[in-house]
Amino acid sequence: MLVLYHHNISVCAQKVRLALAEKKLPHERRHINLMKAEQVSPDYLKINPKGVVPALVHDGQPVTESTVIMEYLDDAFPERPLRPAAPLARARMRVWAQVPDAALHAACGTVTYAAAFADQIKAANSPAALKERLAKLPDRARAWRQEQLLEKGLDAPFVADAVKLHDKVLGDMEKTLTAGAWLAGDTFSIAECAIAPYVLRLDRLGLARMWEKRPRVADWYARLQARPSWAEAITAFPVLGGGDYDDDLKSKGVNIWPKVKALLAA
């Protein structure tokens, strides 16, 4: 039995949901409300001591870290593999799968908090509650970044580097996609599951112009959205509302592109 602890718009949860959908694996889902800090509740910390989503529980045994979870699913359920058979293609898949773990995920959190989440968190919490919330985060470096973003938003000193890292990754994707339809070659793989949520997040923040001159990235993204797994793993999980996190600036008339464009040019 597979149980996925997740959040609707968590990029890491989206990665694992895409893998589960591509592999057509039945599973239960249990939503963790991040705005209400359920990820640092004592019960959830027993499953994932880092206090983040997602976490997968397979027959009572927890597996954490989204990249590890995707590889675990391919090991435990080898049907419909998401890792290429050829060693070189598999190595390329792993290079792309580690891009978020190396730096992109932190950069995504920086840009998203600066653009959207900081204002939402401040609206939902008193100053005392915010202080308590930050104090409960197991990752103290992450807590410090969030404190800076809550105070300064897009003007926080490390936001420009985060924006430029996204731009570099998109440039690397454009170059890679000259050699094949997908990031690891000719077949869809864990690489797509790993990177797609970060491109989606830029899109939802209204930053699709970052790839308007990168036609291969645009084509890759369009083909992803046409796959059945996208509807099952992404479209089926819109913003919940009711005080939950909301990354969809694009449809709400919030335009951060001029600021981001200036950061890219600096």
Give 15-56 pLDDT, tens digit per residue: 999 999 999 999 999 999 998 889 999 999 999 999 999 999
Domain boundary among 76, 111, 132: 76
pLDDT in tens, 243-259: 889 999 999 999 999 99
Residues 145, 241 within the same domain: yes
At residue 240, the pLDDT reads 85
Averaged pLDDT, 137-142: 85
* Parent domain of 40: 2-76
Q: Which residue intervals of 41-189 are DSSP H helices?
A: 42-47, 66-76, 87-99, 105-112, 118-124, 127-136, 140-152, 159-176
Residues 101, 229 within the same domain: yes
103 has a pLDDT exceeding 90: yes
CA dist., res. 13 & res. 29, Å (int): 11
Tokens of 226: 């046409």
Residues 248, 168 within the same domain: yes
Is the separation of the CB atoms in 122 and 221 below 8 Å? no
Into how many domains does the chain fold? 2
Domain boundary among 30, 53, 76: 76
Instruction: Residue 248: give its domain's CATH number.
Output: 1.20.1050.10
Domain boundary among 76, 103, 128: 76
Averaged pLDDT, 54-71: 98
Give domain status of residue 181, yes or no. Answer: yes
Element (H, E) at 194: helix 190-204
238 has a pLDDT exceeding 90: yes
Give domain status of residue 39, yes or no. Answer: yes
Q: Tell me the sheet residues that pair with 4.
A: 29, 56
Distance of CA 240 to the CA centre of its chain: 17
Q: Give the strand pairing for 28-31 and 61-64.
A: unpaired
Burial class (CB in 10 A: 0-12, 13-18, 19+), 58: middle
Averaged pLDDT, 162-176: 98
Is the separation of the CB atoms in 54 and 13 below 8 Å? yes
Residues 126, 228 within the same domain: yes
Q: How far is CA 97 from CA 103, 110, 194, 247, in A?
A: 12, 20, 5, 23
Mean pLDDT over the full length of the chain: 96
Give domain status of residue 82, yes or no. Answer: no
Give domain status of residue 31, yes or no. Answer: yes
Tokens of 161: 């580097």
- Phi then psi for 182, rounded to 5 degrees? -125, 170
Residues 220, 116 within the same domain: yes
